[in-house]
Amino acid sequence: MRLHDPDWRGFASDNYSGMHPEVLAALEEVNSGHQISYGEDDYTARLTTVIREHFGDKAEVFPVFNGTGANVLSLTAMMPRWGAVICSSLAHIHTDEGGAPERVSGLKLFPVPHHQGKITTADIAHEAFGFGDEHRPQPAVVSITQSSELGTIYTPEEIRTIAEYTHEKGMLLHMDGARLWNAAASLGLPFRAFTTDAGVDVVSLGGTKNGLLGAEAIVVINPDAVEGLIYLRKMSMQLSSKMRFVSAQMLALFEGELGLRSATHSNSMAQRLRGALEDQISSGAVTGLSFSAPTEANGVFAVLDPEVSDRIRSTFRFYDWDRSKGEVRWMCSFDTTESDIDAFVDKITAELQA
């Protein structure tokens, strides 16, 4: 049964794409016979081995269903009930998770100013105070997003600087890696170079935005940074009974470097989109279009008249980022093609010229 047009493409989110065919094939291979449930299967054991190859010998992995679950569980396990998280004012945990960190775990978020989606130690310092003050939630974790909500990338040096400051203050460092594969592709570096070696304690490792279905993971790089995660996962309804199907999907991203290949492709499609539009601007073919953030991963952030955006959306769906400014977000996926980009550019150009 098919209820949709398989040729339709949107640029609203990398969640719009389906499963990567290689991931789907991996699930077909897993779907035979019996395996022990709740993570005692061969595939979850193999995933632990692979994660340690990429993040270090002490790394532990906890497969979960979604990014919100990964983030909330990570932060809950990293701090006491009186703890607080310092994060960017754009952080997904602050703006797009329905208040789950506060409502599910009862923790406090301290949002701080950002610079093109990223935060620095100077920003963190705005809220890194009051340690030992019983009247103030205790800053316990700093959370950064890689790649950021604006598609910008932290360098290993930037992360290391944040980690050193964070640890000196007695706090821990969490990384929301919903698009960690895109960051690795952009940097041209292995995960370890900008996580483990840079001082990150816990990572929410994304998969859904890179061709998986209901499969994410928490990677604990520093086991001393968490407590009770095995129990919290069950309490928070993030423990899969047939975990082999979650673990096998994540394994598929590592095998044959599928995750890196897919992220490299989606990044390059974003570059193609931006490059084609910049050519139109520089040639004078279009006016009224600018860009509000660097394009370093698989997203393009642009500014144009909201009425023009609405006309473009009649063919290609995408989201307003800040409608008051005319700012929009265009996302590319592992299955975005050059012809998809070219058709989108033609529509944007036509509406800007109308």
For the chain, the structural domain boundaries read: 21-256, 259-353
pLDDT category of residue 228 using cuts at 50, 70 and 90: very high
Q: With pLDDT > 90 as the criterion, what percentage of the chain qualifies?
A: 97
pTM of the predicted protein model = 0.97
pLDDT beyond 90 at 7: no
User: What are the tokens at 73?
Assistant: 């569980």
- The pLDDT tens digits of the residues spanning 306-351 come to 999 999 999 999 999 999 999 999 999 999 999 999 999 999 999 9
pLDDT category of residue 211 using cuts at 50, 70 and 90: very high
For residues 294 and 151, is the Cβ–Cβ distance under 8 A? yes
- The pLDDT tens digits of the residues spanning 179-197 come to 999 999 999 999 999 999 9
User: What are the tokens at 277?
Assistant: 């539009």
DSSP single-letter state for residue 19: -
CATH for 259-353? Answer: 3.90.1150.10
Task: State mean pLDDT over 242-265.
Answer: 97
Q: With pLDDT > 70 as the criterion, what percentage of the chain qualifies?
A: 100
CATH entry, 21-256, from 3.40.640.10, 3.40.605.10, 3.50.50.60, 3.30.70.580? 3.40.640.10
The Cα 133–Cα 261 span in angstroms is 48
Quote the strand ranges of the chain, DSSP E.
60-64, 83-88, 108-112, 138-145, 172-177, 202-205, 216-220, 290-291, 299-303, 319-322, 327-331
pLDDT beyond 90 at 354: no
